[in-house]
Amino acid sequence: MSQSKKQTAIKSIIGILLSVVLFFSTGIQVPVLDSTADTYFRDSISKAGISYGTCRVINATVSIIKESSLELEPAGIGLSLAVGQAVDPINDMVERLSNVLVMSITSLGVQELTYEISLTLAPQILAIFLFILSFLIWFKNDKALKFQRIIMSILIIVSIARFCLPVSSMVNEFLQEHFFEQKILEANKELANGIADLDKLKDVTLPKYDGFLETIENSASYLKQKSIDFKKAVAITLKNRDIIVENLLKLTFLYVGIFAIQVLVLPLLIFWFFVKIVNSLFLK
């Protein structure tokens, strides 16, 4: 047997053995790389979900307040306090932030699903094409060489697709930890302080109507105190409104930035980077 045939036989045997190993390696994770990806997707979806839940709570509270008004008539003097205009900007910003969070959670879910599919299917796809390639290398005609190049390209693309999202998640995790996370925590903290008084508005209620005289006799002091509490709560809400809107806007910008980086910039950039490396090494 000539030297070239020996080399071809060695390559073919190695390819067949490797394809068998890959075929039965479905779901096997690469240490550090895949564990980091799992942690990133789980934590990111959880944190975004908590933020979305907070937005829903704020939205529910604001919706109650927006429709509310307090009508008090002690001693025949009418007093009407409406707070819809006070919370309109807050409601608008909550809706916008909620939409961004839904988009971000959806994109993370799609990426996680794609990653899990690649984790399951990529080894088998690589095994099948590597097995075919292990036999094609025995043929040296132009048609066989063309098929070999096509299969090599498929193997490279599948390998890049398999590791693109895990590498992207590692970079995302770094950016999240060192840039976005602290800013989001600060904005959430300031937001929590700003909306603490909204519950006071929500809890302002009137006693049941038990007849004109009964209501006046038994509820005058109660209504007076509630009207004072209500006016104080409105004043505080108006005072804190700009802070609330500012932090909602800040959170919106941060999550839009996260969405753009994690969905568009990093995956495409890393995929392009891998392709360039492969081209420079194997396709000169």
CB 55 within 8 A of CB 156: no
Predicted pLDDT of residue 169: 84
Closest CA to 123 of 25, 12, 32, 33: 25
Cα–Cα dist 69/191, whole Å:
24
Model pTM above 0.75: no
- List the pLDDT tens digit at each of the 284 positions of the chain: 567 778 888 888 888 898 888 888 777 778 888 888 888 888 888 888 888 887 887 777 777 666 655 444 444 333 444 556 667 777 788 888 888 888 888 888 888 888 888 888 888 899 999 998 888 888 888 888 888 888 888 888 888 888 888 888 888 888 888 888 888 888 888 877 767 666 655 555 544 444 444 545 545 555 555 556 566 666 666 667 777 788 888 888 888 888 888 777 887 787 787 777 767 765 55
CB 200 within 8 A of CB 66: no
Q: Each residue of 37-60: b (16+ CB within 10 Å) or e? A: bbebbeebbebbeebbebbeebbe
* Amino acid (1-letter code) at residue 205: T
Predicted pLDDT of residue 71: 46
CB 51 within 8 A of CB 188: yes
Residue with tokens 């060192």: 178
Which DSSP helix (H) or strand (E) runs through 191? helix 181-195
DSSP 205: -
Predicted pLDDT of residue 211: 47
- β-sheet bridge partners, residue 79: 72
